[in-house]
Structure 1
Amino acid sequence: MTTDHNVAITAEMQGTIVTWEVTAGTPVRQGQVLGMLESMKLHHDIVAPSQGVLSAVAVEVGSTVKPGDVIASINASSEAREGSEEAAEEVSASGPLGLDRPDLLEVVERHAIGLDEARPRAVERRRERGHRTARENVEDLIDEGSLVEYGPLVLAAQRKRRELDDLIENTPADGLVGGIASVNGDQFEGHDAQCVVMSYDYSVLAGTQGHQNHRKKDRLFELAEELRLPVVFFTEGGGGRPGDTDTGGVTGLDCYAFLWWGQLSGTVPMVGVNSG
């Protein structure tokens, strides 16, 4: 609903306003997340339908709304739009959007912890032995920026005997970097350029295969078979890991990786690269 230059923002469903990320008078961009609504225990973004200045917030955090209720409005006049463009340029120059939100910042920081740049000592130890890191091997193989990584935030299943901060710092991705990426995308299109790429990370518990590590392999092998994708696997590692505690199985072999890896033979191209 639009009145003069005011664009009404209405609730798309019944729910409760959980948070507002902006206040009245704030320049906003079209598509910017303004707040969050909870419905049926799920969180849904409240998105700006137009560029301009948020002129009013009609309901407070904690209020229950029905579909069609006006919850905020945007001044979309030409003057307001010009002001929001200038503000957007300033924000863009200052850094990535959304990092003032604690929830998003925590996610970004957690992803960053597992990257080589955040693990200089682990990288140094690899260099001392004349080796590269798992992420370097993966990144050099694939087209830049094409990796859709699976399970980058999982940790070793050892919460019963180690502190969470210790696991976050020292067991990123549970020692397996893997996902779907493209290779030689400049020569092949779409599906023909895609493959599953995986690498044990020797800098994490000697590249041993833990509980979450196995679960990721299960999923990636399953996808390789379903999507008929080649698999490239960097297999430097220390074999099975006996120290995981947070599992429901008895032997640690209650997984499908061994079965599905065998089934891939003769179904898709399989390339193994080993060191050590």
Structure 2
Amino acid sequence: MTLLIKSRCRRRKRLRSRQRRRRASRRRKTSATVYTPSAAAASSSRARSERVSSPLNTSVTSCCRSPWTLRCVSHSGPYAKLLLGAMKSSGCTVYKDRHFSCEDCDGTVSGGFDAATSQIVLCQNNIHQQAHMNRVVTHELIHAFDHCRARVDWFSNFRHLACSEIRAANLSGDCSFVNEISRFNFGLKEHHQACVRGRALRSILAVRKVSREEAEQVVDEVFDSCFHDHAPFGRIPHNKKDAKFAYRDYENRDRYYANL
């Protein structure tokens, strides 16, 4: 019995020593591997291509100047996802080559919606952060959604323009608490309404040659009805969490539940 136990112990020792020798030989082979310059260049170019092809890792300018513009837009957050889905459901599918244009703009303009060509213009020379791009895209997509769902007279009816600007400022996150703090604008009572009114007024004055008094009068006339028009979100998305809930509700809008 003692001899049998000793023989088993010897076998186990021999087996362990073989396993150790195999591991050591593998380590030597791995450490002796030499990477040629071509292999290193290929690996670095592959890594570069993976970084560029990922829309979440691209900068704003490279996103605009690359074929990934729409992917950058669709992955920019729940705001854009919901708006793109709503436009598709309304029969206005958005195509990156057709409906997005990245250009160098004058002044401090960040973007715009060209109603004549149904195209969103992103001012790549004035957008330097991904968060800024997300807000601009969402703002202009709201204009595109209004253009899709209604007969908006952008050029001669200031009431239509003012209504869409109010909706864009209200629903795009332009007047979120974080953005207002970053602008050093503080307020408690009806601060969101004041921000929406002010940004809509500035947008109208930037695109139309009208007096400030006339623009204020038009904004006041349509403010209540347009401020409470939350389509397609169904609520005011004050932050990304609200936008995610709105996007979830929009995705489940045709789902029916039954008590089984």
Structure 2 length normalisation: TM-score?
0.28
Which is bigger in relative contact order (C-alpha 8 A, separation at least 6)? 2
Give the number of the structure whose alpha-carbon radius of gyration is greater: 2
**Structure with greater proportional helix content:** 2
**Structure with greater proportional strand content:** 1
Structure 1 length normalisation: TM-score?
0.27
